[in-house]
Amino acid sequence: MVVPPIRPGLTFHKGRHSHSTWLAEDGIPEVARRARLGQKMKGMGRVYDHVTREMRYQILQALEARWWSSVAALLPNERPSQLRLRATTLVQALTAP
């Protein structure tokens, strides 16, 4: 079964670029952005910079704000019937050691 794209022309690769750009716009440190995308820091940053719980929490807050902003932009008939986000579970997952 072939599922049509949500948006024509949108690829996984383009989604990664958008995701990284959003995180940069939201002030997420480079080390946390790279870790989120599965990349490593280059140079001395690789030695000295590490992702902290606070950085993971900042990512959660930034992405959740974008989520709710996009939901608010939908017309009432476009909204899924249940839009509950289990923030507590996400916070625990993102702030785990």
- pLDDT tens-digit readout, 41-66: 677 666 678 899 999 999 999 999 99
Task: Give me the amino acid identity at 77.
Answer: N
Residue with tokens 């008939």: 77
pTM, 2 dp: 0.67
pLDDT at 26 over 50: yes
Residue with tokens 């509950």: 84
* Residue 18 · residue 11 · CB < 8 Å: no
pLDDT at 5 over 90: no
* Residue 83 structure tokens: 């839009």
Q: What pLDDT does 97 receive?
A: 64
* Residue 56 · residue 80 · CB < 8 Å: no
Residue with tokens 């939901």: 71
pLDDT at 82 over 50: no
CA dihedral 51, 21, 92, 74 (to 10 degrees): 170
